[in-house]
Amino acid sequence: MIYILHDNKKWIVELKKHLDENKLEYKEWFIDDESSVLENLDLDGVPPEGIFYNRVSASSHTRGARYSLEDSRALVEWLGSHNRRVINGRGTFNLETSKISQYLALKKVGVKTPETYIATNKNAIIKLCENKFGNNCIIKDNRSGSGIGVKRVISRDSLVEYLCSPSYVPPIDGITLVQEYIESPERYITRVELIGGNYVYSVRVDTSNGFNLCPADECNLTGKSKFTIIKESPHPELIEKYRQLAKNNNLDLCGIEYIVDGEGDTYTYDINCNTNYNTKAEERAGIKNLAVNKITELFKTGDK
């Protein structure tokens, strides 16, 4: 039996379709703030037999479930303590919930990240933007996802106005990152998908329309696709380092994002431990269902 731990029904539509088609049995453990899964948890009890796929997201608190992530972390602890195989198990929470942890893990394998400073209050944000980057930078939440809190800073005045506006939401963990803005002349970023620790493909994402780059079909509201799959990576040495990172951190599945500046240098700035695949982009590339097939292989081989 496959158990899918998740916080967003829309993000598992394709996976469920695929499992149905392949007659693979699964159950959903939907984790929101009223999650009966956690409430019924018996600490002296034994988890069911099966394989567990953890794909609860760091942005779940923005969809009305403040404690999804904390709750699933507790569940995964329990599963882990009974040696259940969890795809993206215990270790992934640390990376999923903190860009600081992501950057430290990237540095460890020799991957360049944008210059980044940490702020824990508005004054510190304003000072860092001014002193470190002359108010030409980007700020983002440490615990992020779906572009939460990502704001391009272009002047002190507009930054102060933003931080004082009613629309400003402080980061859920109190930590803001003040970061070097990497200008990409061709206006795209690249997201590298790894499954089972191995390279699957890269997705080039058009960034001309903003910072929410969720690649799920459901997130594409414009109809016009901004996703193009590149099968062979133009940066094989970077991919090797990503693979090492996945191995170091027991990451079964992840999507890692980098940006290329005008000099051709790559900067890696985001690791997504739960990733969405764009089926239409896969179809256009002639590799329909490749990602979901690879995940299904993980389910089959990982049940140990």
Query: Rule CB under 6 A: which residues touch ligand ADP?
Result: 114, 138, 140, 144-148, 150, 179-182, 189, 207, 211, 213, 257, 259, 269-270
Q: Please choose which of Mg ion, ligand ADP, none residue 150 contacts, taking the beta carbon within 5 to 8 angstroms, the exact cut-off set by kind.
A: ligand ADP
One-letter-per-residue 3-state SS of 182-250 = CCCCCCEEEEEEEECCEEEEEEEEECCCCCCCCCCHHHCCCCCCCEEEECCCCCHHHHHHHHHHHHHCC
Q: Please choose which of ligand ADP, Mg ion, none residue 33 contacts, taking the beta carbon within 5 to 8 angstroms, the exact cut-off set by kind.
A: none
Q: Closest CB to ligand ADP among 145 and 171? A: 145
Q: Closest CB to Mg ion among 33 and 257? A: 257
Q: Please choose which of Mg ion, ligand ADP, none residue 145 contacts, taking the beta carbon within 5 to 8 angstroms, the exact cut-off set by kind.
A: ligand ADP
CB 122 to ligand ADP: min, Å? 20
Secondary structure class of 286 (helix, strand, coil): coil
Question: What is the pairing mode between strands 51-55 and 85-87?
Answer: parallel
CB 102 to ligand ADP: min, Å? 9
CB 145 to ligand ADP: min, Å? 5
Tokens 């992840």, residue located: 254
One-letter-per-residue 3-state SS of 259-284 = EECCCCCEEEEEEECCCCCCHHHHHH
Q: Closest CB to Mg ion among 53 and 258? A: 258
Contact 179, 140 (CB under 8 A): yes
Q: Closest CB to Mg ion among 96 and 270? A: 270
Q: Closest CB to ligand ADP among 82 and 152? A: 152
Q: Please choose which of Mg ion, ligand ADP, none residue 148 contacts, taking the beta carbon within 5 to 8 angstroms, the exact cut-off set by kind.
A: ligand ADP
Residues contacting residue 246 through CB under 8 Å, at least 6 positions apart: 194, 197, 252, 254
Q: Please choose which of Mg ion, ligand ADP, none residue 138 contacts, taking the beta carbon within 5 to 8 angstroms, the exact cut-off set by kind.
A: ligand ADP
Q: Which residues pair with 52 in a beta bridge?
A: 3, 86
- What is the contact surface with Mg ion in residues (CB under 5 A)? 257, 270
48: left (phi over 0), alpha (psi -120 to 50) or beta: beta
Q: Closest CB to ligand ADP among 85 and 99? A: 99
